[in-house]
Amino acid sequence: MDTRRNFLQKMAVSAVVLPFLPLSGFSSVRKDPVPEGPLLRVAILGLGGYGGRVAEAMQSCKRARLVGLVSGTPEKLSTWGTRYNIPEKNRYNYENFDRIKDNPDIDVVYVITPNSLHHDHVIRAAKAGKHVISEKPMSLNAQMGQEMVDACKKAGVKLLVGYRMHFEPRTLEVVRMRKNGEFGKIMFFQGQCGFKIGDPTQWRLKKDMAGGGSLMDIGIYAINGARYMTGEDPVWVTAQETKTDPVKFREGVDETIQFQLGFPGGAVASCLSTYNMNNLDRFYLDGQKGFAEMQPSTGYGPIKGRTHKGELTQPVVTHQTAQMDAMAGIILHGEKPEVPVDGEEAVKDLKIIDAIYRACRTGQRQELKL
């Protein structure tokens, strides 16, 4: 499974080493694609492994451009600044980050830090008058997520979340077919998301930084996928946790969770999130007239899949390039994505996550009102 965090897990060293490699080792010279109207000017906050992936992908964007950097590591600011031609005045650390409010060169801040930091960083960016993109999960729980939504509304800025799959062509084809009734009445969804996590000292295995374990990291793909694949929000959830290594997966850090969702139209979902099994990256949607199967379903690509009508053959894209170009349209022109990516969408996922953890603790079905 090559999701964002799996990539980070496998490339743990790169989050530290990558920014310090000789510039000649990079193939990241700006390609300067022909702009399509106004450019969304983006500052990345958090220069780790995934921040690097986003920065690289943005070199091919037609509607968005990387213009700013925020990091607590001076060496990264220097190396990345040189690499991406970011002027000194557009480079910030976490202490002086609030001064970004006086910088007219930057439209939006993309927060790509550990989960526990999203809340503070998003609210600070909003108070500085900048639009915000937050990586997912948007925060540690639904209450904190709602505070982020409220802060952005109060500041009059947009809050989007890095749901890259919402812009992936083969995923969108399945969504289109479902909306057009080509699967008939939706009956069942299955989402399997997981990988065997490595370094036991990483932040993803620390509750105070991650907010949980596999569910917060990889399980959110199945949660969100269940919603956009069925086209409904669930009304109840049940869940069971399995832990085989309590040393690696300490209290509050889930190893494996199975959860079930019920939808108002009668469909049910059976999902699995794990940090202890590889080869799990599969969505399956079943309707009365047909089906869709995607494997891999949420990795960096290429996404592969088939339906009862045959193989999915839509173009293969770099997810982060497509995401950032689409988000430029949302922020600059008020365009509406096929699948929402706003803060309210993320709060719904956080409410489901909260309910799954409650179900694991109590053994009882949890009713949902999203």
Residues recognised as catalytic: 136, 221
Q: Is 333 exposed, middle or buried (0-12, 13-18, 19+ CB in 10 A)?
A: exposed
Residue type, 153: K
How far apart (Å, rounded) are the C-alpha atoms in residues 131 and 195?
33
Residue 85 makes CB contacts below 8 A (sequence gap 6+) with: 30
Whether 133 and 108 have beta carbons less than 8 Å apart is answered as: yes
Antiparallel, parallel or unpaired: β 268-274 and 91-92? unpaired
CA angle 122, 223, 317 (to 5 degrees): 75
Tell the residue number behind the tokens 């600011």, with chain if given: 77
Measured CA distances, 170 to 154, 177, 223, 307 (Å): 36, 11, 19, 11
Number of Cβ within 10 Å of residue 22's Cβ equals: 7
CA–CA separation, 158 vs 165, rounded Å? 20
**Dihedrals φ, ψ of 138, to 5°?**
-60, -35
Cβ count within 10 A of residue 73:
16
**What is the distance between the alpha carbons of residues 228 and 171, in angstroms, rounded to a whole number?**
9
Nearest to residue 45, comparing CAs of 104, 8, 96, 11? Answer: 96
Look at phi and psi of residue 22 and say left if phi exceeds 0, alpha if psi is from -120 to 50, else beta.
beta
- The C-alpha atoms of residue 119 and residue 126 are separated, in whole angstroms, by 11
* Token pair 């983006």: residue: 42
